[in-house]
């Protein structure tokens, strides 16, 4: 038995989906399936039953998870403590990046910042369909630069620290050749029956779309879903449908952007777990981003 196998079981149990667990752990679905099968063979019992709704824990699986959770928590804490106690080791920083980082021209500043920090080894995670808040909670990333499903989302999640960096108007993004592209603004009701392009089911984009549709009584004719922002914006440019996104996407992806009516805003935010603010490199990164956004006159006041 390995800690990796135990972590895979806990993640599949939490997600009730092999594919979602694979996305959150940044591994292939087949890798998770194979390791869980090996563990079940070693234990001599099934941990999951496979149903049409997805994997469900057996009684043995539930007992395994109860015992495995404190072990995995202790192991992850040990890894962090050992790394912190070795002053000569390079600091590792894992950052989740949303598309707004690029459309607001912040990525180049971030790279220059780390060029001047040779003691930090940085990894960037940019998967559009990734649930960054879950990745933070499970300590798979250290901080996230992205928007949230809703602005008040973190108010109900006391373990997170969040501060807005860039506040932008939400727009209807559409092809520059679309007959509606000459309008000054659009309401969702005027898009009734339109084709909407969004992220994967339960992604941040999908949750925001569902919230807006519910709030404004809007029903799309159909929805195309993709975990690639490049694919989504290519569909927009070709006139297949529209995307709800920030005004900065207009220039970056060469599409038209009509502000939503009534006005709606969403912020690019710096988000991490509150207990990670004790790490000096995370506080410094936050302060750097606040300074850069202020200098570029992007800072959300």
Please say whether the beta carbons of 103 and 147 come within 8 A.
no
* pLDDT value for 154: 52
* pLDDT value for 91: 83
Residue ending a domain, among 21, 52, 81, is: 81
Q: How far is CA 279 from CA 95, 201, 224, 286, in A?
A: 14, 34, 41, 11
Please indicate, yes or no, if residue 274 is contained in any of the structural domains. yes
* pLDDT value for 243: 93
Q: Can you give the C-alpha Rg of the chain in angstroms?
A: 21
How is residue 214 written in tokens? 């519910």
* Tens digit of pLDDT at every position of the chain (301 positions): 888 899 999 999 998 888 888 766 756 788 788 899 999 999 999 999 988 888 999 999 999 999 999 999 998 888 778 766 766 567 889 999 999 999 999 999 999 999 988 889 999 998 766 778 878 888 889 999 998 755 555 545 567 888 999 998 889 999 999 999 989 999 888 888 889 999 887 777 787 788 878 877 788 889 999 888 899 999 999 999 999 999 999 999 999 999 988 888 888 999 998 888 888 899 999 999 999 998 888 887 6
The domain that contains 136 carries what CATH number?
Answer: 3.40.190.10
Count of the separate structural domains present in the chain: 3
Do both 55 and 99 map to the same domain? Answer: no
SS3 (DSSP) at 94: strand
The domain that contains 202 carries what CATH number?
Answer: 3.40.190.290
Q: How many CB atoms lie within 10 A of CB 101?
A: 22
Backbone angles phi and psi of 115, in degrees to 5? -60, -30
* pLDDT value for 295: 87
Residue ending a domain, among 27, 53, 81, is: 81
Q: What domain range includes position 34?
A: 3-81
Do both 186 and 259 map to the same domain? Answer: yes
Do both 70 and 24 map to the same domain? Answer: yes
Please indicate, yes or no, if residue 116 is contained in any of the structural domains. yes
Please indicate, yes or no, if residue 275 is contained in any of the structural domains. yes
* pLDDT value for 96: 94
Predicted model pTM: 0.67
SS3 (DSSP) at 31: helix
Do both 260 and 172 map to the same domain? Answer: yes
The domain that contains 37 carries what CATH number?
Answer: 1.10.10.10
């Amino acid at each position: 038995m390995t800690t990796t196998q135990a972590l895979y079981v806990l993640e599949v149990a939490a997600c009730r989906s092999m594919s979602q667990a694979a996305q959150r752990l940044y591994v292939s679905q087949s890798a998770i399936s194979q390791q869980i099968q090996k563990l079940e063979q070693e234990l001599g019992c099934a941990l999951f039953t496979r149903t049409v709704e997805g994997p469900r824990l057996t009684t043995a699986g539930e007992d395994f998870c109860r015992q495995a959770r404190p072990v995995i928590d202790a192991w992850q804490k040990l890894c962090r403590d050992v790394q912190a106690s070795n002053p000569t080791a390079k600091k590792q920083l894992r950052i989740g990046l949303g598309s707004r980082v690029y459309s607001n021209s912040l990525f180049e500043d971030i790279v220059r910042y780390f060029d001047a920090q040779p003691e930090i080894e940085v990894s960037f995670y940019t998967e559009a369909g990734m649930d960054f808040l879950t990745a933070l909670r499970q300590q798979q990333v250290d901080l996230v630069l992205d928007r949230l499903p809703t602005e008040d989302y973190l108010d109900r999640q006391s373990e997170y620290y969040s501060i807005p960096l860039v506040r932008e108007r939400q727009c209807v993004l559409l092809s520059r050749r679309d007959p509606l592209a000459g309008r000054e603004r659009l309401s969702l009701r005027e898009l009734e029956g339109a084709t909407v392009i969004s992220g994967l089911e339960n992604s941040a984009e999908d949750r925001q779309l569902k919230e807006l549709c519910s709030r404004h009584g809007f029903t799309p004719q159909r929805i195309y879903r993709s975990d690639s922002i490049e694919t989504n914006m290519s569909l927009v440019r070709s006139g297949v449908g529209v995307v709800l996104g920030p005004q900065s996407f207009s220039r970056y992806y060469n599409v038209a952007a009509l502000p939503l009516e009534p006005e709606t805003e969403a912020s690019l935010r710096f988000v991490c777990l509150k207990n990670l603010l004790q790490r000096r490199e995370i506080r410094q990164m936050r302060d750097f981003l606040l300074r850069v956004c202020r200098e570029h006159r992007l800072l959300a006041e």
